[in-house]
Amino acid sequence: MKSIAFNARSEFRGLLLGLARVLKEKHGSTLHLYCSTEQVREYYSSRGTGLFDTVTSLRDLMNVATAPVSESREILEEARRNEARLGTTYGTFVLTNRHFGRGFSLGGFRHPRSRYSENSTATQLLHAYNMRFAFWEREFREKSITLNLNGNKESQSVARLHGISSRAIIGSRYKHYHYWCENEYFESEAIARAYRSIATAPLRDVVAPYDSHMQYRVTFMREMGLPRALYDMGRMVAKHAYWRLRGYEKAKGYYMTEEMLFYWRRWKSTRDLTGPRVSRLSDLEGRPFVFFPLHAEPESSLQTASPEYFSQLWAIASLARDLPAGYTLAVKETYQTQGRRPDNFYDQIREFKNVVLLDLLELGPEVVRKADAVATITGTAGLEAAIMGKPVISFGRHNLYNVLPHVTVIEREEDLATALRRVLIDGVDSVKAKADAARLLQAIIDNSFDMGSFDFNKPDVVEQTVVDDAAERLVANLAVERPATGLERAV
């Protein structure tokens, strides 16, 4: 707790400001604030007077990546040295960036383009990441950082290289619980260790999606009509004019026309996925099926959490190929990625004879409850299915629920058909599966803090009890050592 790299996040700004006060007052921590924009810096600095010992902008990566640079052997050699030291390629860092990693969003090709995505080259990116890694090396050394809080993949990778702990807030995806994950893959050795130590736990069911999902759903339902789409397009024009007038960094990001078209595509996509061209859950009554929920793209819960596997259309094609005869694959879109899919993305899915598209507004837990199994990369549906004692096919290698015996992690394509036949034809012991899942869920609850009445639409409002609980859980989590992941061991 001595010297903390405190990375600002807008969605948790009320909680993080409260946490900064606790760390300062109770633990005497030195806090070094890092902000992505000038507006974020102003927010935290004005409301956290006296809390932060230094304040630093992180916009340099975006600006350097679009600044002129000459081809240079020195740039290339420095990049290769960094890759060797960090144990991974620069590509794994690029794919986590919504601007520079557009090419890796295979199912999010229509995400709005920006000045950063359109005006950066491979050499510029190498130079920018060289600068970023050098920056974090310097910051950690000169400020004697002992904890990296809510950092991105770059800062976490450099921190790991120097034995500095990293922690970040992430939703547990059960009710309103959140936990402190220990790396960019959202892993938690504290939860895994607790699961192994718990002998029995009470059975709990998933009766509704987790709280933040329902909060976002309410907002989406309010905004899905054509009048709202037209309103949002006009509002976006006004926003860009205001940002330009005030000289905000946001004005240098996404192109205004791209964002306007995004709202139009979102409306068209929503209409297509809630009308007669999609199936309802009731249409699958009496038919055995596997549920595959689509992920938002680009999104950290996909590209960052699962760098080894992030192609959703390929996963669907593989499942359609390897499903036992008579089984259907039910695919459902998430409203968070509406308007971002490539042209004909849904038409490609419709081409598979044993695959159906479900209505966008069907509730995930209800689909999971009816399904024979769930296949996912990093989705919440995997946890929900596991809790219900249903078999899960996990393409992602870092999911919390991968520790469960009834969750099969696919690391080789040729193992998928065998795994599907085993869980669907041979079946799993549902009684044991539910008991194992109850232990995991208890471990998650024991190592999480409840966000209470916190509303993501009102990020400034947070109860002090939530702040205190989050601080206590952070201290407890830091006492747990975490073994290196496969990617880290590759060094």
- 312 and 179 belong to one structural domain: no
Residue 313 corresponds to which tokens in the numbers above?
């259309």
- How large is the greatest C-alpha to C-alpha distance in the chain, in angstroms? 65
0.95 exceeded by the pTM?
no
DSSP-derived secondary structure letter, 336: G
Q: What is the pLDDT of residue 320?
A: 98
Position 486 scores a pLDDT of 45
> Do 347 and 419 belong together in one domain?
yes
CATH number of residue 389's parent domain:
3.40.50.2000
pLDDT at 71: 84
Q: Which two tokens stand for residue 14?
A: 């009320």
Give the rounded distance of the alpha carbon of 131 from its chain centre.
Answer: 25
In a domain, 448, yes or no: no
204 inside domain: no
Name the residue range of residue 72's domain. 3-198+458-489
Report yes or no: 106 and 344 within 8 Å, Cβ to Cβ: no
Instruction: Indicate if 168 and 246 belong to the same structural domain.
Output: no
User: What pLDDT, on a 0 to 100 scale, did the predictor assign at position 214?
Assistant: 60
Helices and strands in the chain: count of H runs, count of E runs: 20, 13
Give yes or no: residues 404 and 359 share one domain.
yes
Please report whether residue 221 resides in a domain.
Answer: yes
Q: Which two tokens stand for residue 106?
A: 């295979």
pLDDT of 490? 39
Give the model's pLDDT for residue 266: 82
CB atoms within 10 A of CB 196: 11
Residues 135 and 34 both lie in one domain: yes
221's tokens: 């339902």
Would you say 171 and 212 are in contact if contact means Cβ atoms under 8 Å apart? yes
- The one-digit pLDDT tens for each residue of the chain (491 residues) are 899 999 999 889 999 999 999 999 999 999 999 998 888 888 888 888 889 999 998 877 788 888 899 888 999 999 999 999 999 999 999 999 999 999 999 999 989 898 889 999 999 999 999 999 999 999 999 999 999 999 999 999 999 999 999 999 999 989 899 999 999 999 999 999 999 999 999 998 876 665 655 665 666 666 677 777 777 888 888 888 877 887 776 766 888 888 888 888 888 888 888 888 899 999 999 999 999 999 999 999 999 999 999 999 999 999 999 999 999 999 999 887 888 999 899 999 999 999 999 999 898 999 999 999 999 999 999 999 999 999 999 999 999 999 999 999 999 999 999 999 999 999 999 999 999 999 999 999 999 999 988 888 889 999 999 999 999 999 999 987 655 554 443 33
Consecutive H or E run containing 36: none
Together in a domain, 474 and 375: no
Given this model, what pLDDT does residue 187 score? 96
- Measured CA to CA, the distance from residue 488 to residue 491 in angstroms comes to 6
Residue 205 lies in a domain: no
- Half-sphere exposure of 396 toward its Cβ, with a 13 Å CA cutoff? 31
Residues 187, 284, single domain; the answer is: no
Can you give the pLDDT at residue 207?
62
Total domains present in the chain: 2
Would you say residue 48 lies in a domain? yes
- 225 and 122 both lie in a single domain: no
Label the pairing between strands 177-181 and 165-171. antiparallel
Q: Are residues 296 and 387 in the same domain?
A: yes
The verdict on 46 and 24 lying in the same domain is yes
The verdict on 427 and 278 lying in the same domain is: yes
482 occurs within a structural domain: yes
My answer on whether 194 and 219 are in the same domain is: no
